[in-house]
Amino acid sequence: AAALRRLNSAVQYVPYRGALRPRSALRLVRQYDIVADCSDNAPTRYLVSDACVLAGKPLVSGSALRLEGQLVVYNYGGGPCYRCLFPQPPPPDAVTNCADGGVLGAVTGIIGCMQALEVLKIASGMGSSFNRYMLMFDALEGRFRNIKLRPKKADCAACGDNPSVTCLQDYEAFCGSSATDKCRTLRLLPGGDRISVQQYKELLDARVPHVLLDVRPQVEVEICRLQHALHIPLRRLEEKEEESLQLLHKRICEEKQRTDDQTSLPVYVVCKLGNDSQKAVKILQELPAEKFGSVLVKDIKGGLMAWATKIDSTFPQY
């Protein structure tokens, strides 16, 4: 708000300190003519959309991730609402936000300017073209394209003929994820399948035979890595790439030579934040025992950023 006042002191700016919650969203939305959604998580998007439908307000929604951006105007001119297009939220582990996936700042600037333009057009009575089309921006190719949206659904839970969403609900429970723009923390594994960075440091100092598997993308490994880690990107594990699985099997066999072959060899999986590593553990747990032998797979909670924070302050954070 302070930055905006420096740009234009003739406009009234009202900052609200705190997260948008179901108990307050409808009261806030009803005070305004147009709402712009610039959030970065599924619970907030559903909350804002439902509040706009209940209050009868148009919603100018923008999103950006990596080198791509999208713009849609919901609940306007007979067009669909957010739930019309996305009746059910995606699985929490399938969602990537900017904190996890990254975004080029210029992309958010472009989408933000487009949002502002649509707000001005709606406010001035000119209307918007993006209540029936989604604008998609590809920064890498320098290309804009419009995709026609499905029409408003008669059976939509929010804006349909007989809506079931008549009040705002617990959207974090509905989406299975937190309403935050910060780095998400997934819980895909039971506690017994995870260890802390402190526990891993102890077994490392004790020279316990094991394999450390780093499942980050190559570009992140080039930034920083633990030198003794074997690097296989999560994508290759998901695709069951034979060459990668053979590489893992070879490392396991080499490490098993240091043991009496009577106990399960631990394989610890690490990534940046401890999310992708949990996905990798679930994949590795399903690999055939006759091929990989007796292997105990666990995830390292918090990943390499937890290592940098709690174990090695010189380890680069990114």
Q: Which class is domain 1-175?
A: alpha beta
Do the strands 143-148 and 211-214 form a parallel or antiparallel pair, or are they unpaired? unpaired
38, 81, 98, 156: the active-site residue: 98
Angstrom CA distances, 242 to 93, 235, 253, 294, 296, stand at: 25, 12, 16, 19, 20
Backbone angles phi, psi at 298, to 5 degrees: -140, 155
98 is catalytic: yes
Residue whose entry in the numeric block shows the structure tokens 């003929």? 161
Question: What CATH number should be reported for the domain whose range is 194-311?
Answer: 3.40.250.10
Q: What whole-number distance in Å separates Cα of residue 120 and Cα of residue 128?
A: 10
Q: Residue-wise pLDDT tens for the chain (318 aa)?
A: 999 999 999 999 999 998 899 999 999 999 999 999 999 889 999 999 999 999 999 999 999 999 999 999 999 999 999 999 999 998 876 676 666 678 899 999 999 999 999 999 999 999 998 999 999 999 999 999 999 999 999 999 999 999 999 999 999 889 877 787 665 677 889 999 999 999 999 999 999 999 999 999 999 999 999 999 999 999 999 999 999 999 999 999 888 887 766 567 899 999 999 989 999 999 999 887 766 666 799 999 999 999 999 999 999 998
Q: What whole-number distance in Å separates Cα of residue 44 and Cα of residue 37?
A: 9
Q: What whole-number distance in Å separates Cα of residue 68 and Cα of residue 58?
A: 24
CB atoms within 10 A of CB 263: 11
Residue 13, burial from CB neighbour count under 10 angstroms (0-12, 13-18, 19+): exposed
Tell me how far apart the terminal alpha carbons of the chain are, to the nearest angstrom: 28
271 is catalytic: yes
Do the strands 59-65 and 35-37 form a parallel or antiparallel pair, or are they unpaired? parallel
The residue ranges of every structural domain in the chain are: 1-175, 194-311
Domains 1-175 and 194-311 share a fold: no
52, 159, 175, 271: the active-site residue: 271
Which token pair is 290?
């006759």
